[in-house]
């Protein structure tokens, strides 16, 4: 969609504006090229058709009330018209003010009743002067209050002049000013202390304001003055609605979860889209709901506009939409999945082509669903059409190559984290995961043969347990098996208090070894080999650190399977325990052990992932023979 701009008032101004835009575009391309891996193509800001910056030329000075020069000043412009749930888009130079008048009018239903509000008519002062309310639009004369939802997003903002490191990363924010006084008219910052004026500063490039009105409103968007450290214009869109906010920002953690990452890729998922088993199939059928955006903290471009949908679309280094569009969208593989605890629907984002040892911010935006909003269309736009932006989630990549992300496996379908790898032996994205998956399936097949010796189909009075059956045993064993066959890998150089060193005596895939002092420190058998021989023989990852599996995975197997299988786990006071398992954080503030689907992003304890504590009631004396 092209933005609509006011015409230039001078050719000279237009030439200057085009020059400014081309400089901005060239700088943006240069920054993006510098921050992406060398094998990736650089790209310009192709996610949003921004056109040319507006050249306002001479200041417009209307001569009609209430917008005379005594109220507007010398740097104000009157623009419009706005329509219900349709944004108005405009450029402002620093220090300029955009003015709107919102007339308190509405259309009646077929019976002429005022009960069903269908539309707000938003006209500029000029339109209000030259025309009266059209057919079906009548003024509200009974004094009843009309709800109005105002929202705005900053799409572009002045950028920091290259080389000026003393300037803040983002310029000052726009300000929304609202007056219900026809004597004041459109307010500006010099009037902000008046009791008749309400002020709302944009936060992260977004603002939301709702109120009930009985009189016309006068709305201003004020662009702040900026220092010489910045150059460029502000570009924003403003919308009003009688139903709900057109733009929305939700400040709530836990909407996007970081599962894990390696040196060049990361895996994130949305929160559960439903926890109702009856709705799960329907939600999966509806498909993906979120757009996904990424900002590189080394070269940030979203500071100051991180709560704005159009700001993300215009400036994000990498983003992808469900329909396969976006800037460098080929780096983001999005799918719907039910992996993880509970098996509930969620949207998954697997990102590749990232820089190593780098901090990122991930954002999801929920765009209006065409089917869900069809009933709300009234020819005036879509309620919530500006999208909903959620709080960002921090994630980072590591420096080494010993750990590689795996996901979407056929047998171990709950595994979604980095495992010990070897880039010299496994070049493809899926070959490493396939190697682990095949081995786990082979071990599980042997377990199934042992389980066949148990009377799984016997009546309940003859079963090995009144609470558990063989299906419970299979599920618990598979979850435990996949977790210990595929340990959760962390880079050797990572300072992690909850992981232990593995395979210290072996060379890295490139042939280098650890320093002599490190080899002496990790000479014990637990540190000098991997958890199981298969990893050393078939993968040969070199030194790495392992985040140990949670002990309740092991205890759940013992409680769910027949005693005849003679499966057991080390108790917490056993010497073997500290090199085999770890315990969960009771307050859920950090990841202390590995459990399939356990995110690195922490949420509140109340919203944390549930885990099985039934093992606390059991007593286990033996050590599980296989792969502990």
| Segment 419-464, tens digit of pLDDT | 999 988 997 668 999 999 999 999 999 999 999 988 888 887 778 8
The beta strand positions in 137-289, using DSSP E, are: 137-139, 146-156, 159-160, 175-179, 197-201, 206-213, 217-222, 230-231, 234-241, 248-250, 256-261, 266-270
Give just the sign of the alpha carbon dihedral 529, 531, 535, 541: negative
Task: Phi first, then psi: give them for residue 136, nearest 5 degrees.
Answer: 85, -5
Stated as kind and residue range, the H or E segment containing 277 is helix 277-286
What is the per-residue pLDDT across 304-318, written as a single tens digit (0 to 9) for each?
999 999 999 999 999
Alpha helices by DSSP H, 455-602 = 470-485, 516-521, 525-528, 533-534, 551-560
196-223 burial code (b ≥16 CB/10 A, e <16):
ebbbeebebbbbbbeeebeebbbbbbbb
Give just the sign of the alpha carbon dihedral 373, 376, 381, 386: negative
Q: Is the pLDDT of residue 626 over 70?
A: no
The strand pairing partners of 139, in sequence order, are 105
* % the chain with pLDDT above 90: 52
Task: Phi first, then psi: give them for residue 102, nearest 5 degrees.
Answer: -105, 110
**DSSP-based three-state secondary structure for 268:** strand
451: burial class by Cβ within 10 Å (0-12, 13-18, 19+)? Answer: middle
487: tokens are: 């340990």
Q: Is the pLDDT of residue 120 over 60?
A: no
What is the per-residue pLDDT across 32-79, written as a single tens digit (0 to 9) for each?
333 333 333 332 322 322 222 333 333 333 333 333 433 344 455 665
Lowest mean pLDDT among 65-69, 470-474, 567-571: 65-69
| Separation between Cα atoms, residue 416 and residue 520, nearest integer Å | 33
Peptide bond before residue 66 is cis, with ω within 30 degrees of 0: yes
Question: Once rounded to an integer, what is the mean pLDDT over residues 242-270?
Answer: 94
Q: Are 105 and 133 in contact (CB under 8 A)?
A: yes
Give me the domains of the chain, ranges plus CATH numbers.
80-106+143-161+170-246 (2.60.120.380), 248-397 (2.60.40.10), 400-597 (no CATH)
| Separation between Cα atoms, residue 387 and residue 383, nearest integer Å | 9
What is the per-residue pLDDT across 195-216, written as a single tens digit (0 to 9) for each?
778 999 999 999 999 988 878 8
Question: Once rounded to an integer, what is the mean pLDDT over residues 120-132?
Answer: 34
Q: Which is nearest to 539 in space by CA: 422, 621, 454?
A: 422
Peptide bond before residue 337 is cis, with ω within 30 degrees of 0: no
Q: Are 139 and 197 in contact (CB under 8 A)?
A: no
């Amino acid at each position: 969609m092209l933005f609509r701009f006011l015409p230039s008032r001078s050719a000279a101004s237009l030439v200057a504006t085009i020059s400014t835009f081309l400089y901005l575009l060239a700088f943006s391309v240069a920054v993006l090229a510098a921050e992406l891996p060398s094998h990736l193509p650089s790209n310009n800001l192709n996610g949003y058709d921004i056109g040319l910056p507006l050249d306002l030329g001479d200041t417009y000075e209307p001569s009609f009330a209430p917008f005379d020069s005594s109220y507007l000043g010398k740097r104000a412009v009157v623009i419009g018209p706005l329509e219900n749930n349709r944004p108005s888009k405009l450029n402002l130079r620093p220090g300029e003010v955009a003015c709107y008048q919102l007339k308190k009018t509405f259309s009646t239903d077929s019976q002429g009743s005022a009960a069903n509000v269908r539309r707000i008519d938003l006209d500029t002062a000029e339109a209000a002067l030259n025309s009266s309310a059209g057919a079906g639009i009548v003024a509200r004369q009974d004094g009843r209050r009309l709800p109005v939802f105002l929202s705005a997003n900053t799409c572009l903002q002045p950028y920091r002049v290259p080389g000026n490191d003393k300037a803040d990363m983002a310029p000052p924010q726009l300000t929304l000013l609202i007056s219900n006084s026809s004597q004041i008219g459109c307010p500006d910052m010099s009037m902000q202390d008046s009791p008749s004026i309400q002020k709302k500063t944009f936060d992260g490039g977004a603002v939301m304001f709702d109120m009930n009105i009985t009189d016309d409103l006068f709305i201003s968007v004020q662009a702040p003055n900026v220092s010489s450290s910045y150059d460029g214009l502000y570009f924003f869109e403003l919308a009003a609605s009688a139903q709900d906010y057109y733009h929305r920002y939700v400040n709530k953690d836990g909407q996007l979860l970081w599962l894990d990452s390696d040196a060049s890729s990361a895996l994130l998922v949305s929160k559960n889209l439903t926890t109702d088993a009856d709705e799960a199939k329907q939600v999966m059928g509806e498909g993906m709901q979120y757009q996904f955006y990424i900002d590189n903290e080394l070269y940030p471009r979203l500071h100051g506009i991180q709560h704005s949908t159009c700001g993300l679309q215009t400036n994000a280094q990498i983003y992808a939409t469900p329909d396969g569009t976006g800037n460098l969208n080929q780096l983001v593989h999005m799918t719907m999945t039910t992996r993880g605890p509970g098996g509930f629907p969620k949207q998954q984002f697997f990102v590749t082509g990232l820089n190593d040892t780098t901090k990122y911010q991930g954002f999801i935006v929920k765009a209006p669903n065409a089917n869900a909003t069809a009933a709300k269309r009234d020819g005036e736009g879509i309620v919530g059409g500006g999208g909903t932006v959620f709080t960002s989630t921090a994630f980072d990549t590591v420096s080494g190559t010993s750990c590689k992300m795996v996901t979407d496996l056929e047998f171990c379908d709950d595994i979604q984290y980095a495992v010990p790898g070897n880039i010299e032996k496994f070049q493809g994205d899926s070959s490493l995961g396939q190697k682990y998956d095949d081995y786990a399936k082979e071990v599980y097949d042997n377990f199934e043969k042992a389980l066949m010796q148990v009377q799984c189909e016997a009546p309940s009075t003859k079963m090995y347990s009144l609470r558990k059956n063989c299906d419970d045993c299979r599920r618990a064993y598979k979850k435990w098996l996949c977790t210990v066959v595929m340990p959760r890998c962390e880079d050797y150089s990572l300072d992690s208090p909850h992981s232990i060193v593995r395979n210290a005596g072996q060379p890295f895939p490139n042939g280098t070894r650890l320093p002599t002092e490190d080899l002496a420190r990790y000479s014990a058998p637990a540190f000098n080999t991997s958890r199981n021989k298969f990893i050393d023989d078939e993968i040969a990852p070199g030194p790495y650190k392992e985040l140990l599996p949670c002990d309740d995975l092991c205890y759940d197997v013992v409680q769910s399977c027949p005693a005849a299988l003679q499966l057991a786990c080390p108790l917490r006071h056993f010497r073997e325990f500290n090199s085999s398992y770890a315990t969960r954080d009771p307050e859920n503030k950090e990841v202390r052990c590995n459990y399939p689907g356990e995110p690195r992003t922490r949420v509140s304890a109340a919203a944390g992932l549930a885990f099985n504590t039934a093992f606390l009631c059991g007593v286990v004396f033996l050590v599980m023979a296989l792969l502990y």
